Amino acid sequence: MACLILPWGWLRMRTNFNAQLLATSRGARANEILRSCVHCGFCNATCPTYQLTGDELDGPRGRIYLINELLENGSNQQRAQQHLDRCLTCRACETTCPSGVAYGELADIARAQLGPQRNGVAGLLRSALQWVVPYPSRMRPLVRLGRWFRWMLPKRLSDHLPGAVGRPVLTQAPLSSGRQGPRVLLLNGCAQQVNTAETNQHLARLLVEHGVEVTTVRDETCCGSLDLHLGDHERGLHFARNNTDVLYPMLEQVDAIVSSASGCGVTLKEMGQLLVDDAAYAHKASAVSAKTKDVSEYLADCGITFTASRSERRVAWHAPCSLQHGQKITNVVENLLGGAGYELVTVRDSHLCCGSAGTYSVLQPQLSDRLKTDKIQALSADAPEVIATANVGCQTHLNSGSDIEVLHWIELLK
């Protein structure tokens, strides 16, 4: 057995970081992640961009080599930027990897090294997205304006305009200290409260009808994932600190912090890790992360029995990457829908990304559209009556190309 294990260890990536970089927590963590890679290439088999381009540098293994070179000596910045910008951060490679390489964390370290700035139209788009999307007060009027002038907008933007502009769920009554039943703090999200506000409105009603008290906080902000994935690390941490300040004082008053947007949920669950080096926030952020649950986790733990809210029974389930690969939640939504009386149809390649990936559909429209087309074909193949998903980005992205209605799965329960 030893003769098999030893050569496997020899395959692990060798790094040669300078002492200054290794002295930082970010450098030490990148070094640790890189050295866990054994170059096996299993990750490429489940990487959506590698499947499309066939380019080794558009797969996790190739990107890992680029990241290593970038961090060791600062070389190939332009090439690393090109191929990291094409990465969806879907983290399917993490689910596949036999060595447990934390690729998503490594990619964000490299993006922070590269920074958020880009030249030309890409740079303008990135700046505009950072200025608008995390702020509902800015996004809401611009979406209304965009609906009037949809015909003037590029397809990559017009496809994401909702049918109606939503408002957040707000609770006015102060929390009672002597509560008897369960209580949750429901997160509204930023893009979600504008584009698909009906999800949380339905969820709030559902919870109240089943005896769960719902509260919200007005000062909740963006989770920071948009900025982190665009390489603006400090701005992402700013949002993480703000949410820690807002949510931490609520922890003793609620049983859980609930997110119905899986993309936000995965970042909130990793907030303690993001702020681990901040002495003033590390403990509080970890406590917030520990109490954050995806709505599917919370409902499954409650043991409440749900029934179907729609007459359509055949459902194609699309698990967002942030749910199945980021939060590692599988078969929970499926069991809840099945228990409510729905029939889940077979969907091929269910592990693959739909191409939404936050801002990816705007910044990488060609690759994103190809992934969307493939995903809609897979979801539609077994003649479902409705498509269900668990993240605002996936929902709006798929709805822009599907003849079958795409809903958040929570809307299928009553």
Residue 305: both structure tokens together: 């029995």
Distances (CA, A) of 383 to 149, 227, 376: 35, 38, 11
Are 259 and 184 within 8 A, CB to CB?
no
Distances (CA, A) of 402 to 159, 313, 359: 11, 18, 20
Residue 147, C-beta contacts closer than 8 angstroms, at least 6 positions apart = 161, 165
Residues paired with 406 in a beta bridge: 387
| Orientation of helix 103-114 relative to helix 233-247, angle to 10° | 120
Dist. CA 318–CA 375, nearest whole Å: 9
The pLDDT tens digits of the residues spanning 98-130 come to 999 999 999 999 999 999 999 999 999 999 999
pLDDT of 413 strictly over 60:
yes
Distances (CA, A) of 404 to 142, 228, 309, 327: 27, 33, 17, 27
**Helix or strand holding residue 137 (H, E):** helix 136-148
pLDDT number for residue 13? 82
Q: Following DSSP, what letter does each residue of 371-400 receive, concatenated? A: HHHHHHHHHHTT--SEEEES-HHHHHHHHT
pLDDT of 1 strictly over 60:
no
Phi, psi dihedrals of residue 248, rounded to the nearest 5°: -60, -45
3-state helix, strand, coil in the chain (%, to 5): 55, 5, 35
Residue 406: both structure tokens together: 């795409």
Confidence (pTM): 0.92
Burial of 214-233, coded b for 16+ CB within 10 Å and e otherwise, reads bbbbeebbbbbbbbbbbbbb
Dist. CA 131–CA 172, nearest whole Å: 29
Instruction: Give me the domains of the chain, ranges plus CATH numbers.
Output: 2-114 (1.10.1060.10), 183-301 (1.20.1050), 306-412 (3.40.50.1860)
Read off the pLDDT of each residue in 9-28 and give the average, rounded to a whole number. 84
Residues paired with 185 in a beta bridge: 215, 257
Report the range of poorest mean pLDDT among 93-107, 120-134, 168-182, 225-239: 168-182
pLDDT number for residue 4? 45
Read off the pLDDT of each residue in 212-223 and give the average, rounded to a whole number. 94
The pLDDT tens digits of the residues spanning 245-296 come to 999 999 999 999 999 999 999 999 999 999 999 999 999 999 999 999 999 9
Nearest CA to 320 out of 409, 240, 384 is that of 409
Read off the pLDDT of each residue in 88-101 and give the average, rounded to a whole number. 96
Are 292 and 298 within 8 A, CB to CB?
no
The pLDDT tens digits of the residues spanning 233-247 come to 999 999 999 999 999
Are 310 and 412 within 8 A, CB to CB?
yes
Running DSSP on this structure, what letter comes out for residue 352? S
pLDDT number for residue 12? 78
Banded model confidence at residue 2, pLDDT cuts 50, 70, 90: very low
Banded model confidence at residue 15, pLDDT cuts 50, 70, 90: confident
pLDDT number for residue 103? 97
**What mean pLDDT is reported for the chain?**
92
pLDDT number for residue 14? 85
Amino acid at 88: L
Amino acid at 307: T
Between 236 and 9, the more confident residue is: 236
